[in-house]
Amino acid sequence: MFFTYAGVFFIGIVVGFLGGLFGKGGSAVATPMLSLIGIPGFIAVAAPLPATIPGTLIASAEYWKSNLLDREIVLWSILIGVPATIIGSFLTEYTGALPLLIITGLLVLGFGISFLLFPKEKSFNPKEDKSLNANHGFYWYSRLILIALFIGLISGLLANSGGFLLAPSYARILNMPIKKAFACSLAVSAFLALPGTIVHAYLDHIDWVVTVILALGSVPFSMLGAKVAIRSKSSFLEKVYGLILTFLGVFFLIKLMVN
């Protein structure tokens, strides 16, 4: 049991650092890793949800201190995304998971390739960026609402915080600078994880020992990941992010085909 819990702690470190670095809660990555070390299925799915909430909030606070958090995007995403997540949670009883998993894998792969082939980041100075105060039009708000609605539904249906789709959607569909996309994704992911946490807690799917150990590893390293991202060049982050998304998308789709 000691080695299992040590493995959970190490997974927390990895997931926390990558989450803070690339603007994602980490539940979608933590679940397969927990399964590999022998954590039962429902617990592997449910335990990361509450564990990632404090880490994502702390990491998003680091981005906020660097003036990278767009509060308008976060607010709209939460107002639309949280109800959509709740609806998605109820729809799991009637919707097959396989088509959603295939669509998710293709989206992650597509975003990854787009970051690699069509990079748009050069040097980004938050002091020179004026998008925080930009007057957005109807088309921009329509895209934001559709992103929040779709990813909220996916988050509820697949029982994760949605960060692995939020950040690339903000960057590509809303044309946000990559660091701002990471910052907003982290803040929204924390709130999208709440409905799933409540449902799984009610169903007694959460092993709170696993959750606490996972959080102990992830929280400090989420903050470290955010600090590294803030100090890194945006162009470098975009390339690495593209590589990771492409790898995850390919791995995800291959795993689905094998299963």
Res 122: pLDDT: 57
Average pLDDT along the chain: 86
The Cα–Cα gap between 19 and 191 comes to 15
Res 49: pLDDT: 87
What would the mean pLDDT of 62-84 be, rounded to a whole number?
Answer: 93
- Does the pLDDT at position 179 exceed 90? yes
**Could you tell me which residues come within 8 angstroms of residue 252 by beta carbon, excluding any fewer than 6 positions away?**
101, 104, 105, 108, 109
Res 215: pLDDT: 94
Res 130: pLDDT: 46
- 161 touches 96 (CB < 8 A): no
Q: 3-state SS string over the chain?
A: CHHHHHHHHHHHHHHHHHHHHHCCCCHHHHHHHHHHCCCCHHHHHHCHHHHHHHHHHHHHHHHHHCCCCCHHHHHHHHHHHHHHHHHHHHHCCCCCHHHHHHHHHHHHHHHHHHHHHCCCCCCCCCCCCCHHHCCCCHHHHHHHHHHHHHHHHHHHHHCCCCHHHHHHHHHHHCCCCHHHHHHHHHHHHHHHHHHHHHHHHHCCCCCHHHHHHHHHHHHHHHHHHHHHHHHCCHHHHHHHHHHHHHHHHHHHHHHHHHC
Report phi then psi at 62, rounded to 5. Answer: -65, -45
- Does the pLDDT at position 68 exceed 90? yes
Among 49, 88, 78, which Cα is nearest to 191's?
A: 78
pLDDT band at 143 (very low <50, low <70, confident <90, very high): very high
- Does the pLDDT at position 13 exceed 80? yes
Res 24: pLDDT: 81
Give this prediction's pTM.
0.85
Give residue-wise pLDDT tens across range 83-134: 998 888 777 667 666 777 788 888 889 999 999 998 876 544 444 444 544 5
Amino acid letter, 121: E
Least confident window among 17-21, 117-121, 178-182 = 117-121
